[in-house]
């Protein structure tokens, strides 16, 4: 019996020692949604079977992702992951200090309540004993005066003390509420559970191992944000690419090596299978719904967004949709769009917004930006361009010059006559539909940008192959439309670090940003900002106005070749002439070959749109009503310099054969008949005035109303 008890005690002791096996986070790869944690743990194995328990881990580990390496000659017998509800997670120092303050305040409040209770007891005692003398004994006047004075003085003192204590309680209560709000901001809910990995290893002989433990968690991620800065018109735009990293995994990341990846491990990677579609009659009262294609938005949740605003329109005609229901997913928090399709919604912690409208397909989008404009029932790739990109000035490289005429199919020309201008790398025989577009560059399996290509030394090149047409697109898809240059080096290639010390590796399916210095990311859900790249990009500046919707004149910047910057869909802060101009969105998923941003409103350019009086008439022809419309747009340049203004207006498009448009006069505009859009490009000198006109008539059955 004693022997069994001793054995049980030894077993318990062994388990206790094993539970203290320590590991340390060395590096973290942060994905757009989730992260891969890499831990290191030195262990000693005896011959035979040894079991280790690595504790104090995140309770959010995806069990199927656990990997163990560094085993040498040892072998794994089992890996088990579980939750320990008795092991408390360590909270950060700020939360611990606030909770200590909160406990002290609660003690002070209780002390004041105890004082108030004592004061009230004394008042009650005095009041119950204020009767003087008895039936046979008369109290003298002098004694009565003394007692009255004492009674008045003491009761006044006690009530004043009670009032002081109540004020102290109110003050302490306000402090308590402030601390609770701050704790709520820190996401300091009482988390007691931790994760544990129990590892059973077998070794034929004693051995020391440096184990590497890798696993994925979901309560972490990063999202990009951009700063766009222009000092003055016609100057290059400075584009600063920043990463906002956050995690709430339950374990602080202290002085770890960070890698930011544009990959999302939670994306469904199962390729779709296209089966035949058979048509047949269905019950008109059934809930049959046609299968909808999964859309590729690439938007990711941004936890910093507290208010979302935007415009909801119809994808078929671009008109605003009033009365659209906009709900924060998983909550009852919602609003409806107004008559012009505008909405604003304060978020309450949800990750997505659902847009629904009668007759339209419901859209669900992650909360990714403070500006979310939505077109219902339309593919995102058909939306108007709303973003930015650019050319980057790069010096010529002797390697590029050396290739000219050396590789079959390779054409290198001077892109401009300016001194120091770049040479243009193209492949002969590929499509030039998008203008001077350069091919893809692949070096030792890395998909790199032109900067890496130009930085190569010709003496390091082992071979160069040129892929065009079907060969290029078969391997690299549509990105290979303009050809691919495949280079193998003699000693292996690593992409260059940018000036911020970030190594950028562009793979086939994702881009990795290796941060040069160690970072500490606390497990509080708060954001750590890391600058990962910046570019100086020339842009074409122009003024823009669409007075049919807004008579303000906007300064815009348009830049191209944006695909080389590894951009993701995200919000951008715009600064012009040292002032904050507002926000815009960068959407690299747009199909256009350039991106345009608004830098703000210029009040010195005046645009007025008025209806001409000689066309304000309505007539009747038979059973039809005819309305004549004509507009004049006047533009005045009050700036001290010459300008170029792009002006847009529109002529309605009929969606009913009973509504006919006639007498269309588009004036001097460029007219897109399919969309009904009128466009003028006007060059105005300082102080000059110009006018443009357009007109049309609408015929429809009288007695009907149309949305003129």
- Could you write out the DSSP letters of every residue in 593-661? SEEEEEEEE-TTEEEEEEE-GGG-EEEEETTEEEEEEEEEEEEEE-SSS-EEEEEEEE----SSTT-EE
The span from the CA of 705 to the CA of 708, in Å, is 9
Provide the strand spans (E) within 275-332.
307-314, 325-328
Per-domain residue ranges for the chain? Answer: 18-91+192-218, 93-131+143-185, 307-367, 398-455+457-492, 605-701
pLDDT of residue 301: 81
pLDDT of residue 299: 76
Contact 456, 441 (CB under 8 A): no
pLDDT of residue 11: 39
pLDDT of residue 379: 38
| Strand 334-336 with 325-328, pairing | antiparallel
* 393: pLDDT strictly greater than 60: no
- For the 398-455+457-492 domain, the top CATH level (class) is mainly beta
pLDDT of residue 410: 64
Nearest by Cα to 629 from 638, 644, 620, 617: 617
Q: What is the mean pLDDT of residues 86-92?
A: 63
Q: Confirm or reject CATH 1.10.3470 for domain 605-701, answering yes or no.
A: no
Q: Are both 18-91+192-218 and 605-701 of the same fold?
A: yes
Q: How far is CA 158 from CA 127, 128, 168, 363, 475, in A?
A: 12, 16, 15, 66, 89
State the pLDDT confidence band at 419, using cuts at 50, 70 and 90.
very low
Q: What is the mean pLDDT of residues 336-361?
A: 87
pLDDT of residue 20: 52
State the pLDDT confidence band at 505, using cuts at 50, 70 and 90.
confident
Contact 369, 585 (CB under 8 A): yes
pTM above 0.75, yes or no: no
Contact 630, 667 (CB under 8 A): no
Helix (H, G, I), strand (E, B) or coil at 185: helix
The span from the CA of 675 to the CA of 320, in Å, is 16
Q: What is the pLDDT of residues 172-215, one digit of tens each?
A: 999 888 888 887 766 545 556 788 999 999 999 999 999 999 99
* 28: pLDDT strictly greater than 80: yes
Contact 138, 132 (CB under 8 A): no
State the pLDDT confidence band at 462, using cuts at 50, 70 and 90.
confident
Q: What is the mean pLDDT of residues 211-240?
A: 88
* 116: pLDDT strictly greater than 80: yes
The span from the CA of 556 to the CA of 233, in Å, is 10
Domain 307-367: CATH superfamily, name plus number: Carboxypeptidase-like, regulatory domain (2.60.40.1120)
Q: What is the pLDDT of residues 289-298, one digit of tens each?
A: 555 565 656 6
pLDDT of residue 636: 95
Domain 18-91+192-218, CATH = 2.60.40
Q: What is the mean pLDDT of residues 633-645?
A: 92
pLDDT of residue 386: 36
The span from the CA of 345 to the CA of 302, in Å, is 15
637 vs 565, which has greater pLDDT? 637
Q: In sequence order, which ranges of 379-431 are alpha helices (DSSP H)? A: 398-403
Q: What is the pLDDT of residues 588-631, one digit of tens each?
A: 766 566 777 788 788 899 999 998 877 667 788 878 888 888 99
């Amino acid at each position: 019996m004693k022997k069994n008890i001793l054995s049980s005690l030894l077993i318990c002791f062994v388990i206790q020692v094993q539970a203290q096996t320590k590991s340390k986070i060395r590096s973290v790869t942060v994905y757009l949604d989730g992260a891969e944690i890499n831990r290191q743990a030195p262990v000693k194995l005896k011959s035979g079977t040894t079991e280790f328990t690595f504790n104090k881990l995140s309770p959010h580990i995806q069990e199927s992702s656990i990997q163990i390496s560094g085993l040498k000659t040892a072998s794994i017998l089992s890996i088990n992951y579980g939750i320990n509800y008795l092991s408390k997670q360590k909270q950060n120092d700020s939360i611990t200090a606030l909770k200590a303050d909160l406990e002290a305040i609660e003690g002070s409040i209780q002390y004041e309540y105890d004082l108030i209770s004592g004061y009230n007891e004394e008042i009650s005692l005095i009041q119950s004993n204020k009767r003087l003398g008895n039936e046979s004994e008369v109290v003298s006047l002098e004694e009565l005066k003394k007692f009255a004075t004492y009674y008045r003085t003491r009761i006044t003192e006690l009530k004043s003390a009670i009032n002081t204590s109540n004020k102290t309680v109110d003050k302490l209560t306000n402090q308590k509420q402030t601390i609770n709000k701050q704790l709520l901001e820190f996401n300091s809910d009482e988390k007691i559970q931790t994760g544990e990995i129990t590892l059973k290893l077998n070794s034929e002989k004693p051995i020391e191992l440096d184990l590497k433990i890798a696993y994925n968690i979901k309560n972490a991620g990063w999202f990009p944000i951009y700063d766009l800065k222009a000092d003055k018109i016609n100057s290059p735009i400075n584009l600063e690419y920043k990463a906002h990293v956050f995690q709430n995994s339950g374990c602080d990341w202290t002085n770890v090596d960070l890698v930011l990846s544009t990959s999302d491990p939670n994306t469904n990677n199962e390729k779709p299978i296209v089966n035949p579609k058979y048509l047949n009659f269905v019950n008109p009262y059934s809930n049959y719904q046609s299968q909808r294609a999964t859309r590729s938005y690439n938007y990711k949740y941004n936890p910093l967004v507290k208010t979302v605003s935007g415009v909801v329109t119809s994808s078929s005609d671009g008109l605003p949709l009033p009365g659209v229901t906009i709900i924060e997913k998983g909550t009852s928090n919602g609003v409806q769009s107004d008559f012009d399709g505008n909405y604003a919604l304060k978020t309450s912690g949800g990750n997505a917004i659902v847009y629904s409208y009668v007759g339209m397909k419901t859209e669900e989008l992650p909360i990714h930006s403070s500006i979310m404009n939505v077109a219902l029932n339309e593919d995102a790739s058909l939306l108007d361009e709303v973003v930015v990109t650019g050319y980057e000035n790069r010096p010529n490289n002797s390697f590029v010059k050396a290739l000219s005429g050396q590789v079959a199919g390779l054409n290198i020309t001077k892109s401009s006559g300016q001194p120091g201008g770049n040479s243009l790398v193209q492949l002969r025989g590929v499509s030039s539909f998008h203008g001077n577009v350069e091919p893809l560059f692949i070096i030792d399996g890395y998909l790199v940008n032109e900067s890496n290509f130009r930085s190569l030394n010709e003496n390091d090149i082992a071979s160069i192959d040129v892929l065009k047409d079907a060969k290029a697109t078969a391997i690299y898809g549509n990105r290979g439309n303009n050809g691919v240059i495949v280079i193998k080096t003699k000693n292996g290639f690593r992409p260059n670090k940018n000036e911020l010390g970030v190594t950028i590796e562009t793979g086939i399916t994702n881009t990795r940003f290796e941060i040069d210095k160690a970072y500490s990311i606390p497990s509080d859900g708060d954001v750590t900002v890391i600058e990962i790249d910046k570019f100086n990009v020339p842009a074409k500046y122009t003024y823009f106005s669409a007075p049919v919707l807004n008579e303000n004149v906007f300064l815009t910047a348009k830049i191209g070749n944006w695909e080389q910057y590894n951009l993701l869909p995200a919000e951008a802060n715009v600064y012009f002439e040292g002032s904050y101009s507002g926000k815009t969105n960068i959407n690299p998923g747009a199909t256009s070959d350039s991106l345009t941003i608004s830098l703000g409103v210029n009040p010195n350019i005046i645009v007025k749109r008025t209806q001409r009086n000689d066309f304000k008439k309505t007539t009747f022809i038979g059973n039809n009503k005819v309305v004549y419309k004509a507009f004049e747009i006047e533009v005045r340049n009050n700036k001290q310099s010459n300008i170029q203004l792009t002006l847009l207006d529109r002529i309605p498009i009929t969606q009913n054969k009973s509504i006919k448009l006639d007498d269309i006069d588009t004036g001097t505009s460029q007219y897109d008949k399919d969309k009904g859009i009128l466009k003028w490009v006007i060059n105005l000198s300082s102080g000059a005035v110009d006018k443009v006109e357009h007109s049309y008539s609408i015929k429809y059955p009288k007695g009907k109303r149309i949305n003129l």
